[in-house]
Structure 1
């Protein structure tokens, strides 16, 4: 039980389960977590991150496993979904699974909303502090917290979510965009109260004009710009959008997609094989020294001859080389 250890002892115990840096032979080209040190994915001032655990293929992966994978990939920053944190805090796994079964904006899982709310009222934030300490000791910063269903939350749950984000060290909460102005305005008021950006994430059908409209709904309403979706939806250049609105962008999702002007929903591809200006976006962040995390979001199909970790490593390598 956690109560049997001091917090420092707990952190050391958790980190001792992580493989030593010298054992990362499969990803040796990335020089994962140099021997005895911590991971470092800051390249020429730009910080490469990863959307986790989504990029690893799920939403409820244990925080310890996520941290281990990030260290293996030599990644020192993440956008982290709230589910692994709440699992770490003691939320029953069956409730976590239920509440993430339909991750659309504006909704919590049917039949479990009351259970989730009661559980959230019953817990303290001590385990959140332990979670952050584990990641700090492991060399991975949680810059963004992804919260599902935020527009359906009660005021108490919104305070809970923003408090969690701040305790984890995040500078923004990300969530799926809502087209309901009243919803965005209400959550934006809590973002202002907590002085923490609420970054709205869109898809190929989300236009630049929708993001720009959301900025009128609150000072702390911003954007998690997915450059692959932006291109696939035939919305123009994400570079130009970023130049105009960089102060409102917490992080960008880095992925490659093809432009299909007919469907406006071109497919995902390995990095460098689509139409998304990944290199230009990364260099734009680097050259302007913007505090915008370049967050890889892995979505294309894993080739039969490869592995998910191998393909993510390939994406990380592509980004590193673009910034070198």
Structure 2
């Protein structure tokens, strides 16, 4: 017997198959139909040849993390292309939900690293760890058997709203994921219309070799993201391993690591699948993550280089600075897009 959640998901998936006009009419109260009608089939955030996108991680503070609500956040931001985190798509496709409070679990892990766990907290953490491991096994089984149809339906829903999905970042490409999960990740990305998947660089040469080989089979790129461990040679081994291995350069973290991103963009642009943009400070200035235009990251110069050299990869807005009181993630992403527009 189907539960209410399953019935709702089935309804939403069927709704996504409807023609664009019918979808907009039926979902008006959920996803802001007037805004989507205004933006329908327009590449609003492709400016002078530079595709500005957004990673859905930017909207993590918003109350509803469903695929439908996420689409509203994107279109309300004025952006027409997206790097999609796994949660909205996998939830839409019916992935089981964890009963573990991840925020509480990560808090306990921090206390464990600090050596400040009480005996009761240690017991609580062990129980949560066991529940998480059981959940991971359940998810792995789901990923191995799930149909790609819901992902195709989600692609249509986003396409009908004028939003293209160029990147997909589920938690399916790690060393602890099975080959079946990794294969699923590539198949789901293709069903969503993505040109590449993204993940944190695993710092494991054997794993990047494995992913590059699996990416070749699916004819889809795998792009590695870095934080302050990025250097001019950070990606070299993985790029040498496979032409399907690529870069997901983060220019803000690159500046915080002490390097000028313009140099690596010029040198390795042909191996970049997409970049992340944020405004961070240099190590000398404290490495802060600031409102755009107030840090040390050459965002405007990066976008102008992409425009002038006709680079084809997307520049992805990643909202990480503290949201001012009275604002929200959508309003701040709008400001980031305005900064890009004025730069280009």
Q: TM-score, normalised by structure 2?
A: 0.81
Residues 196/96 of structure 1: CA separation in 2 closer, same or farther (3 Å cut): farther
1:302 is aligned to 323
3-state DSSP class of the match of 2:234? helix
TM-superposed CA distance for 1:47, in Å, is: 0.5
User: Is the CA contact (8 Å cut-off) linking 1:207 and 1:230 kept in structure 2?
Assistant: yes
Separation of aligned partners in 2, 1:144 and 1:64 = 18
TM-superposed CA distance for 1:58, in Å, is: 5.3
User: Is the CA contact (8 Å cut-off) linking 2:168 and 2:196 kept in structure 1?
Assistant: yes
1:106 is aligned to none
Alignment partner of 1:250 out of 273, 276, 281: 273
User: Is the CA contact (8 Å cut-off) linking 1:256 and 1:274 kept in structure 2?
Assistant: yes
Gaps of 5+ in 2: 1-6, 107-131
TM-superposed CA distance for 1:97, in Å, is: 7.3
User: Is the CA contact (8 Å cut-off) linking 2:154 and 2:192 kept in structure 1?
Assistant: yes
TM-superposed CA distance for 1:259, in Å, is: 0.7
Alignment partner of 1:70 out of 63, 71, 74: 74
- 1:1-324 to structure 2, matched below 5 A, reads 1=7, 2=10, 5=14, 8-9=17-18, 14-16=23-25, 17=27, 18-21=31-34, 34=38, 38=42, 40-52=44-56, 54-57=57-60, 61-94=65-98, 109-151=132-174, 152-234=176-258, 236-261=259-284, 266-323=287-344
User: Is the CA contact (8 Å cut-off) linking 2:84 and 2:165 kept in structure 1?
Assistant: yes
Larger Rg belongs to:
2
3-state DSSP class of the match of 2:284? coil
Gaps of 5+ in 1: 25-31, 103-108
TM-superposed CA distance for 1:6, in Å, is: 7.3
Separation of aligned partners in 1, 2:37 and 2:289 = 29
Separation of aligned partners in 2, 1:149 and 1:128 = 15
Name whichever of 127-136 and 211-220 sits farther off: 211-220
3-state DSSP class of the match of 2:165? strand
1:28 is aligned to none
Separation of aligned partners in 2, 1:35 and 1:113 = 38
The higher-RCO structure (CA 8 Å, 6+ apart) is 2
Hey, which of these two has a bigger chunk of helix by percent?
2
The number of equivalent residue pairs is 304
3-state DSSP class of the match of 2:283? coil
Separation of aligned partners in 2, 1:125 and 1:96 = 27
Residues 138/230 of structure 1: CA separation in 2 closer, same or farther (3 Å cut): same
2:116 is aligned to none
Name whichever of 241-250 and 56-65 sits farther off: 56-65
Separation of aligned partners in 2, 1:95 and 1:245 = 43
TM-superposed CA distance for 1:302, in Å, is: 1.0
Separation of aligned partners in 2, 1:186 and 1:40 = 37
User: Is the CA contact (8 Å cut-off) linking 1:95 and 1:116 kept in structure 2?
Assistant: no
Q: Deviations over 1:37-89 (max 9, x none)?
A: 6461110010100010x101259811101111111111100000122111001
Separation of aligned partners in 1, 2:242 and 2:99 = 32
